[in-house]
């Protein structure tokens, strides 16, 4: 009975969390549009515009191109959405543990985000449209470019958690949410963590396809890229997925590098401290998204695909390797 109750509790918590995440992702996407417009001295759309767009698209007809591979064309938006939503089941929210927390959360998160990107690319290829195929090819190229520095960041952080004796599994986000990794290293390690933090921040635009990395869906070049043939509910699913990917990366960065909470300061408050941590967590995610997504996509123009690939393979990978070396020196010489 206890096992069945815990299973039911996890199911209820998961459904409630995913519903909250979808709503917050759309609202944060609306705030992103407003902030982007104000930075360019425009009025911009209302904050609820993404919600209006989704509701309008939900009432439209799904059109499947004559030359499309129907099964994969229809499956792609659902697979992209579900895999992105599952990311949030492995991210701890404030003092509350992840709904499906395991010992390899960070690895699962990376693979789920990669699966989401591959699903979107498959949808573009399956549409039979040459313009969509160009966008899908760009998506795959971008993924192959930023996965290497992303892997360096994750493995290095796990190695530091293991060597510094941080309580918990090295690859679990709950380990980094419970205690700050910044307190576990010395001065050289702080510089190393800063390099890894910047590397992960630079990966964010590539992962979500915004700002200088708005290449697969470049509207002025390839007419919306791999989603050009999508309409109706399928297009609405892709729009939700785009908002969720931005939200997921901001949440991932927050859990890994910005673990500040009220739990230590208000240890005697119990549930009240946990609720404050819950609210604080979403505030931190919002700030991270505004600073590292909205500001970056406003301040920088779009790169060409070869420029973006070289940027990740050469510069971001080099920065992440420098962070790895600094942390190795710091940890092994203490």
Domain boundaries, the chain: 2-332
Q: What is the pLDDT of residue 95?
A: 75
Q: What is the pLDDT of residue 78?
A: 93
- The 10 Å CB-count burial string (b at 16+, else e) for 62-97 is eebbeebbeeebbebbebbbbbbbbbbbbbbbbbbe
**Residues 6 or more apart from 108 whose CB is under 8 A from it?**
90, 102
Could you tell me which of 332, 320, 330, 326 has the C-alpha nearest to residue 155?
Answer: 320
Tokens found for residue 269:
């408050």
Q: What is the pLDDT of residue 220?
A: 43
Q: What is the pLDDT of residue 265?
A: 53
DSSP state string for 163-193: HTT-SS-TT-HHHHHHS-GGGGS-HHHHHHH
Could you tell me which of 110, 91, 111, 93 has the C-alpha nearest to residue 102?
Answer: 91
Q: What is the pLDDT of residue 84?
A: 92
Residue stretches of the chain with pLDDT short of 70:
1-2, 5, 103-104, 209-225, 260-270, 299-303, 306, 334
Cα 29 from Cα 246, distance rounded (Å): 8
Could you tell me which of 184, 148, 205, 189 has the C-alpha nearest to residue 323?
Answer: 189
Q: What is the pLDDT of residue 81?
A: 93
DSSP state string for 70-134: HHHHHHHHHHHHHHHHHHGGGS-BTTBPPTT--TTHHHHHHHHHHHHHHHHHHHHHHT--HHHHH
Please, what is the average pLDDT of the chain? 82
Phi, psi angles (nearest 5°) of residue 263 = -60, -40
Cα 156 from Cα 137, distance rounded (Å): 30
Cα 94 from Cα 258, distance rounded (Å): 11
Cα 41 from Cα 47, distance rounded (Å): 16
DSSP state of 226: G
Q: What is the pLDDT of residue 222?
A: 44
Exposed (0-12), middle (13-18) or buried (19+): which is 155, by Cβ within 10 Å? middle
pTM of the model: 0.87
């Amino acid at each position: 009975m206890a096992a069945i109750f815990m299973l039911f509790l996890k199911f209820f918590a998961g459904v409630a969390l995913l519903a909250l995440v979808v709503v917050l992702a759309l609202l944060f996407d609306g705030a992103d549009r407003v902030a982007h417009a104000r930075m360019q001295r425009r009025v911009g759309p209302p904050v609820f515009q993404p919600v209006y767009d989704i509701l309008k698209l939900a009432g439209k007809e799904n059109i499947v191109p004559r030359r499309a591979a129907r099964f994969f064309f229809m499956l792609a938006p659902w697979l992209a959405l579900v895999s992105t939503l599952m990311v949030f089941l492995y991210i701890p929210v404030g003092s509350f543990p992840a709904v499906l927390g395991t010992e390899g959360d960070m690895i699962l998160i990376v693979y789920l985000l990669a699966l989401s990107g591959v699903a979107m690319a498959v949808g573009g290829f399956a549409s039979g449209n040459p313009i969509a195929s160009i966008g899908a090819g760009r998506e795959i190229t971008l993924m192959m470019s930023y996965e290497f520095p992303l892997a360096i960041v994750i493995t290095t952080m796990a190695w530091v958690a293991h060597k510094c004796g941080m309580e918990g599994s090295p690859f679990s986000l709950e380990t980094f949410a419970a205690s700050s990794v910044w307190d576990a290293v010395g001065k050289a390690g702080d510089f190393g963590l800063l390099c890894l933090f910047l590397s992960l921040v630079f990966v964010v635009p590539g992962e979500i396809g915004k700002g200088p990395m708005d290449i697969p869906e470049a509207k002025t070049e390839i007419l919306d890229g791999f989603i050009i043939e999508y309409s109706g509910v399928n297009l609405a699913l892709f729009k939700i997925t785009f908002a969720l990917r931005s939200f997921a990366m901001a949440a991932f960065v927050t859990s890994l590098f910005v673990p500040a909470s009220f739990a230590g300061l208000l240890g005697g408050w119990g549930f009240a401290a946990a609720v404050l941590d819950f609210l604080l967590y979403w505030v931190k995610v919002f700030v991270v998204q505004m600073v590292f997504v909205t500001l970056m996509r406003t301040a920088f123009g779009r790169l060409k695909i070869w420029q973006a690939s070289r940027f990740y393979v050469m510069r971001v990978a080099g920065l992440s390797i420098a962070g790895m070396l600094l942390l190795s020196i710091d940890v092994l010489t203490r």
